[in-house]
A = this chain, B = another copy of it.
């Protein structure tokens, strides 16, 4: 019945999935994720391929860190970043679950069509 959602005004991205997908919607941040698959990397090295100012790049890292996709640790004067996988898994799981849902529906639809088509041929 009336299962209302989002009754009151909320910040733009509030739940973890919102934050994760928002983080992944930027090519710079996706590239960072890709790069970190290889292991830990300090900020300057991570930033090197990108043609943006370091503070701008750091903001991207902050977005990734705040939504739990990466973690970082200061060692001496540089900060090392690494991937955190569970948040990424969460987002992936959402997508896979959705995909399974519509795949399941299409399977049932196909089964139904096969059956009715069969009856059509019989009748």
Interface residues of A (CB under 8 A from B): 2-7, 13-15, 17-19, 21-22, 24-28, 30-31, 33-34, 36-39, 49-52, 83, 85, 88-89, 91-92, 94-96, 98-99, 101-102, 105
Residue in B5, B27, B85, B96 whose CB lies within 8 Å of A31: B5
Given contacts A6-B28, A6-B51, A6-B52, 10 further A-B contacts (CB under 8 A): A4-B50, A5-B51, A13-B25, A18-B25, A21-B25, A25-B25, A34-B98, A88-B95, A88-B98, A88-B99
Q: For A50, what are the chain B residues with a Cβ–Cβ distance below 8 Å?
A: 4-6
* Number of copies of chain A assembled together: 2
- The residue in chain B whose Cβ has the minimal distance to the Cβ of A13 is B25
Q: List 22 A-B contacts (CB under 8 A).
A: A4-B49, A5-B27, A5-B49, A5-B50, A6-B28, A6-B50, A7-B51, A13-B25, A17-B30, A18-B27, A19-B25, A21-B24, A22-B25, A25-B25, A34-B98, A36-B102, A37-B98, A38-B105, A85-B102, A89-B99, A92-B96, A95-B95
